[in-house]
Structure 1
């Protein structure tokens, strides 16, 4: 009951809506940039074999329309209807490009859903400007419920950190303070050669433990004002570090946009005053309160507001409870873990059909919450991603490396966000020796895309498949990244294209 009372207090507390307006602009601008990239690489994302075996449905027009919707949302025009359309596009495009799915997609889904029910256009929007103009700029300063701020932070950041902690506790990398050091020491993960920093064992471990501790305490402290500034600076530092170090810029910038909601609203007031001091005489009208309402009108508005408050509070409490339940269902197996199920069914065989039905419902809920709200597990940069991942593959044509990786092995221009996850962990991965067909299909996909973009006709064309061996260790080691970058590429196979069809041969003796 205390939690429900806390929600009541958050709903009734009003603050400036400027933070929400800035969040809307930056978060959706980030999504717009991601969609522009998907549009540029749409054949790679959607065609079974880019250009050669195109999908029957062309995503060109839908992506262009989505970009237009996002632009209107950034400007704050027809915000409510555009946010609904935007959520529809997220559902459609994200699920259609599931082979390129990555962690930020879950955030887009969850935040996209919340955007349909949160008033995002009360500040810094054309909708608000038109509304004020209609009322002769006599409307009072725009304020909104602090609950809206907390909802976005909670489902955009808190649940991610909370869930990821359970993965980190089971990882030697994070428990030993190497959660930042190891991925930054692997060429296929890092985009920055910060060997000096990585060689400072005490400092890099301290940063790893700080990240671990930060994600552990954030869910329990973010709503307390006295800790908010500290959490804000640490969180911004963490995600700016991700932006500089790893090829997932839209993830880093998207979370940074959410952190805008933790900035004290007084800060935005000060910044705004610097800008409006030149259009000052006109803007002062906007901040005046409407004094033309009659007493009866005020009574009616208060009555309607009370009913609206009651209805919205019930709806938000149900929504929060439902989302928390879905996240717990995704995070924990208890009480339906395999061990518990086996013990119960051994003792009570007649319960097996009932428990099987519960397991099926649990699985269905996990799929539903994943596909519609982005609620899922958040095991990012865990041991299983890197254990045994000591081979990386690329393709070379006439001495030129295709832009999946650079000469040193760092991600090239083709690998960013979803395409980086796709090539690094689905085309290639730690189990690549047992999944060569998956590797071959991926190499064909990326080679076909590159050839078309470079106006190369795929007939009687020979490509070299090359491999770079790298070292992976779960104990700190000096100069690991430097040594991995220095490892040479070696030829391990060929890809011959004839009449737009590829034949691949890989020398298994060389890749073992």
Structure 2
């Protein structure tokens, strides 16, 4: 194992996949934090808008969003990753876990956030990389492209997904629902999960059984098959397709997209390089002639070349190449040095601000900036700024007046703060220690897997003791690492879901369904109420059959109070009806048209909520200790 670890540590690969992971992960995280911010009063207030949280959630989330934005663009990447990780630990590690919310998407988010703290994920496709190119250009240092990274970082991404899958597979191998081949069909047949109309899937028993068994086999074998090079890309593509498919059957896009972002970091760099190569133009559409003796000009050329992946503009030092351009022949050198010039394939000559407009247009994705720069009054203002800078810029000796000064020193050829460089022996020890703790933790968490009870030791006091020890260990490591059990939507989540709950606002004969559900009962896009985190709170912490009535009542009033305040509804002379309807649940035996029957079942009234937010009261048709069906 030591030899294998050394091989991973020493193997150097392109930093592009880590950049893809950083960008994809940041986009998913941005959406997650955005939902938390939009619903912060529902998520953090003891009673939304009435009794507000003592923690200032809005500033906390704004800082988190800012750190994520910096991580997305790769600006001060390491610092942004540390801040983002610290906030994830506070909000999702300790904050959510103390309320029993160790959701699978949060588990992946915490693990990925921890890894990003140590990864050199800003070496490519980042502002940090642009600043490095700019600094090298200022000092006439040749840029050889972003420094390679250790393959060990890719291994950690593979372990994140692979161990997640393996633990999930152990749960599936002891699940009657999955062993009967209905792991896909069972949840999809219930109205609470019907994000889209998936009757085309639920009405094909052979297809759903094939998918269920395939998912189990794929998860069980992924971590073992990935190391065979020919299988890597097919496994990555299959995994991405699998998680995009999950988004069709369950309203939990975060966990699927979070896993897809991890897959992005495993894609071989050659795939991206091939795609980038196909986008490059065969012949530059524009030749830009700049002053190579001007530090500011060299920096500008270096940055704009990096921002033009199509390579549609060729940047050429005018001292060597201007004389060979017929359109510039005969121009005095002083004039050429004052205004940057460009010549396109049609022979048109551009100068000054018009050169930059042409460069932006040729790059493709920067074309909107070119359009903006060409508009009045932006263009006249830009010309005045350009003329002022061009007249003051320093040449050859560096910048004398601050116009083209650098904010940071030129980068060294090596970066000793990165794990795989500098003190390699220390780096290896840290990597080996982290990997050992990770695998030991997986073993400890595995002790709570039902596989031990079902296949190995049976339901004995020893097994129950091991499970209790595993639970204690998870409470210790989860907030920092995200390591936990991965019983992702198993039998226990759905087997007792014999009825569904809906809230309806009623006043003066007008009825409005609260957006946790549609009238037909299927979860739909309702401004974020029925997606991801909110869907899980509503479905499994608020109206799941069998929950303590006190918990259900508390959360029903929270949802009602939040919605009434947000919508500006008047509760004077109004009420919110609590409706229920039967759901036929079968997790081990397939039935035709089960989804359609569940979605079209009749609603009955179970009770009502009356009173203004802060004084709301739930009245039920009949008393109960737990949330149960109030019909006959």
Would the TM-score normalized by the shorter structure come out above 0.5? yes
Output one character per residue of 1:452-483: Cα deviation in whole Å (capped at 9) or x when no partner: 11112445531111012111002111111111
Partner of 1:76: 74
Q: Secondary structure at the match of 2:251?
A: coil
Name which of 29, 41, 44 aligns with 1:43.
41
Name which of 190, 215, 227 aligns with 1:186.
190
Pair 1:395 & 2:503 matched: yes
Output one character per residue of 1:73-100: Cα deviation in whole Å (capped at 9) or x when no partner: 1000011111110011101111324445
Alignment of structure 1 residues 346-495 onto 2, 5 Å? 363-398=471-506, 399-412=511-524, 413=526, 414-432=529-547, 435-474=548-587, 475-495=589-609
> How far is 1:493 from its partner?
0.7
Compute the RMSD of aligned alpha carbons.
2.9
Partner of 2:310: 277
> How far is 1:378 from its partner?
0.5
Partner of 1:147: 152
Equivalent-residue separation in structure 2 for 1:425 and 1:406 (angstroms):
18
> How far is 1:214 from its partner?
0.3
Q: Secondary structure at the match of 2:616?
A: strand
Q: Secondary structure at the match of 1:116?
A: helix
Q: Relative to structure 1, is the Cα distance of residues 5 and 340 closer, same or farther in structure 2, using a 3 angstrom cutoff?
A: farther
> How far is 1:230 from its partner?
2.1
Partner of 1:102: 103
Equivalent-residue separation in structure 1 for 2:182 and 2:468 (angstroms):
38
Q: Does the 8 Å contact 2:150/2:420 carry over to 1?
A: no
Q: Secondary structure at the match of 1:278?
A: coil
Q: Relative to structure 1, is the Cα distance of residues 139 and 443 closer, same or farther in structure 2, using a 3 angstrom cutoff?
A: same
Equivalent-residue separation in structure 2 for 1:115 and 1:343 (angstroms):
38
> How far is 1:181 from its partner?
1.0
Q: In terms of mean alpha carbon deviation, does 73-82 or 363-372 score higher?
A: 363-372
Q: Secondary structure at the match of 2:630?
A: helix
Equivalent-residue separation in structure 2 for 1:168 and 1:359 (angstroms):
17
Q: Does the 8 Å contact 1:43/1:51 carry over to 2?
A: yes
Q: Relative to structure 1, is the Cα distance of residues 118 and 306 closer, same or farther in structure 2, using a 3 angstrom cutoff?
A: closer
Q: Secondary structure at the match of 1:188?
A: helix
Equivalent-residue separation in structure 2 for 1:164 and 1:173 (angstroms):
14
Equivalent-residue separation in structure 2 for 1:442 and 1:462 (angstroms):
17
Output one character per residue of 1:4-24: Cα deviation in whole Å (capped at 9) or x when no partner: 211111111111111111110
Q: Does the 8 Å contact 1:19/1:261 carry over to 2?
A: yes
> How far is 1:129 from its partner?
1.1
Q: Relative to structure 1, is the Cα distance of residues 359 and 422 closer, same or farther in structure 2, using a 3 angstrom cutoff?
A: closer
Q: Does the 8 Å contact 1:178/1:476 carry over to 2?
A: yes
Q: Does the 8 Å contact 1:108/1:374 carry over to 2?
A: yes
Higher helix share: 1
Partner of 1:510: 630
Partner of 2:7: 9
Alignment length (residue pairs): 482
Q: Secondary structure at the match of 1:247?
A: coil
Equivalent-residue separation in structure 1 for 2:265 and 2:421 (angstroms):
27
Q: Does the 8 Å contact 1:394/1:405 carry over to 2?
A: yes
Equivalent-residue separation in structure 2 for 1:210 and 1:359 (angstroms):
28
Equivalent-residue separation in structure 1 for 2:608 and 2:162 (angstroms):
47
> How far is 1:307 from its partner?
5.4
Partner of 2:431: 316
* Larger relative contact order, structure 1 or 2 (CA cutoff 8 Å, min sep 6): 1
Partner of 2:390: none
Q: Relative to structure 1, is the Cα distance of residues 207 and 145 closer, same or farther in structure 2, using a 3 angstrom cutoff?
A: same
Name which of 329, 332, 341 aligns with 2:444.
329
Pair 1:236 & 2:240 matched: yes
Partner of 1:133: 134
> How far is 1:402 from its partner?
0.5
Structure 1: which 5+ residue stretches go unaligned? Answer: 285-296, 345-354
Q: Does the 8 Å contact 1:51/1:449 carry over to 2?
A: yes
- Name the TM-score, length of structure 1 as normaliser: 0.88
Q: Does the 8 Å contact 2:149/2:420 carry over to 1?
A: no
Partner of 2:17: 19
Q: In terms of mean alpha carbon deviation, does 162-171 or 34-43 score higher?
A: 162-171
Name which of 70, 84, 93 aligns with 2:91.
93
Q: Does the 8 Å contact 2:12/2:150 carry over to 1?
A: yes
Output one character per residue of 1:169-190: Cα deviation in whole Å (capped at 9) or x when no partner: 1111111111111111111112
Equivalent-residue separation in structure 1 for 2:593 and 2:615 (angstroms):
42
Partner of 1:287: none
> How far is 1:322 from its partner?
0.4
Structure 2: which 5+ residue stretches go unaligned? Answer: 281-308, 318-411, 623-628
> How far is 1:139 from its partner?
2.7
> How far is 1:239 from its partner?
0.4
> How far is 1:442 from its partner?
1.3
Q: Relative to structure 1, is the Cα distance of residues 26 and 383 closer, same or farther in structure 2, using a 3 angstrom cutoff?
A: same
Equivalent-residue separation in structure 2 for 1:85 and 1:57 (angstroms):
18
